[in-house]
Amino acid sequence: MNTKTKYKAKKIKIVFFDIDDTLRVKDTGFIPTSVQRVFKDLKKAGIKVGIATGRSPLGLVPEIRALKPDYWVTINGSYVEDAKGEVVASQPISEEQVAAYKTWAAQEGIAFGLVGKDQASLSERSSLINEAIDIIYPDLAIDPDLDQKEAIYQMWTFEDEGQELALPEDLAQDLRLVRWHPNSCDVVIKEMSKAVGVEKVLVSLNLKPENLLVFGDGLNDLELFDLAGLAVAMGGALDSVKEKADYVTKTVEGDGIEHALVEMGLIPKILQFPQLDLSQAKGPVVQLETNLGTMKIQLFPDHAPKTVANFLALAKDGYYEGVTFHRIIEDFMIQGGDPTGTGMGGESIYGSEFEDEFHEELYNLRGALSMANAGPNTNGSQFFLVQNTGGTYNKKELERGGWPAPIAAYYAETGGTPHLDRRHTVFGQLVDAASLEVLDTIAQVAVDPIDKPLEPVVILKIEVEE
């Protein structure tokens, strides 16, 4: 995401979402769990949320209603209400225009639909109509005279794919066609659109378009994109929508809405901290066998891919066999991985030093496996295991320093070396108490004035459990 988009995001005070293939996958009804989190976090940040859809209130499924937005812009802007059900805007099609439209549809030989605030109906049923409408409005009744019972806000055409349609002059003065399906168009009041409905909300809140962020994927979102200060297209959006967007995010299934809002800084990123719940960790586990015991280590390839690949390749090649832990400092760490045993040697599989891979979900906690280095981006083969047992850190002070609360609590209660965070790449974690026992045993060996063990602590082998 570029700097300009992030700057625009600082002005956002209200966010509107399309429904189909934006909040929800139209074909399956799937809504990511992250969507609920998004709505709550935006509201918590003081940002209002709304839904802008071509659907009538009748077509709002329970899962969408459960999001409890501050505003509903429905029927392509013709009917707008707030969370309390108070009407912000209402513009039905005149009775004369509805009657004229029905006459024209009969002349053209096409089926039609009528959409009120509380009901919708079809003039007939066919496989073509069923395919187009049932996924959004299932089980609609056949009632070509719904207009005799309630106000009509929108109408539909149902025609063969590729069939050219143009409203007659008397209707085209006030109405227009907006295609939403290969076999169907919305028939709406000429000046009405999602953008018009959203603009009425902005006016009611005394907000400007620059305060508006919109998410969409289809043709009926383009006018919203023109209105908004910031527009985001979903990963599965039409190319024409992507071209007009300020930013193209991931798909619905890929938590695209959450991803974009986190990138913009409008909601916080949820961090997982795999070191705190190793039962959920993904990646290989290694058994590091020494002459003083064996330590089992969970690796984190999703977080530090290049570092893990380096360690695994060296381990499988036998590079570490017979290598000592050449530097041991009790209540700090044990360091090894240098075939020369001096702390000055060792090579990576890449033929040279390689870059750091710091990750906001990994920290130098007690039991962490980290890369030793001689400064930024100087990783080779050397690594260390953090042994510090804690008691010297204050949780609140660490939080004030920017450490996440769960990590600060672990440092305070269990130990680690927070001063090494963002200086050394963390890429693994001891998995059990037995491994920590071995770590402590090694840390307690006698050493000389330069922290080299008097009796060698040797890596016998490293076995990889894929």
In this structure, the number of other CB atoms found within 10 A of the CB of residue 197 comes to: 27
Residue 450's Cβ-count burial label (10 Å; 0-12, 13-18, 19+) is exposed
Could you tell me if 91 and 78 are in contact, meaning their C-beta atoms sit under 8 angstroms apart? yes
| Residue 82 among the catalytic residues | no
Nearest alpha-carbon partner for 225 in 234, 239, 237, 213: 213
Contact 385, 430 (CB under 8 A): yes
Asked if residue 388 lies in contact with residue 333, where contact means CB atoms within 8 angstroms, the answer is yes
- CA 1, distance to chain mean position in Å, is 14
**One-letter amino acid identity for 346?**
G
Burial code (b: 16+ CB inside 10 Å, e: under 16) for 305-318 equals: ebbbbbbbebbeee
SS (H, E, C) the chain: CCHHHHHHHCCCCEEEECCECCCECCCCCCCCHHHHHHHHHHHHCCCEEEEECCCCHHHCCHHHHCCCCCEEEEHHHCEEEECCCCEEEECCECHHHHHHHHHHHHHHCCEEEEECCCCEEECCCCHHHHHHHCCCCCCCEECCCHHHCCCECEEEEECCCCCCCCCCHHHHCCEEEEEEECCEEEEEECCCCHHHHHHHHHHHHCCCHHHEEEEECCHHHHHHHHHCCEEEECCCCCHHHHHHCCEECCCCCCCHHHHHHHHHCCCCCCCCCHHHCHHHCCCCEEEEEECCEEEEEEECCCCCHHHHHHHHHHHHCCCCCCCEEEEEECCCEEEECCCCCCCCCCCCCCCCCECCCCCCCCCCECCEEEECCCCCCCECCCEEEECCCCCCCCHHHHHHCCCCHHHHHHHHHCCECHHHCCCCCEEEEECCHHHHHHHHHHHCCCECCCCCECCCCEEEEEEEEC
Tokens 């073509």 belong to residue:
128
Choose, from 18, 217, 246, 421, the residue flagged as catalytic. Answer: 18
Catalytic residues: 18
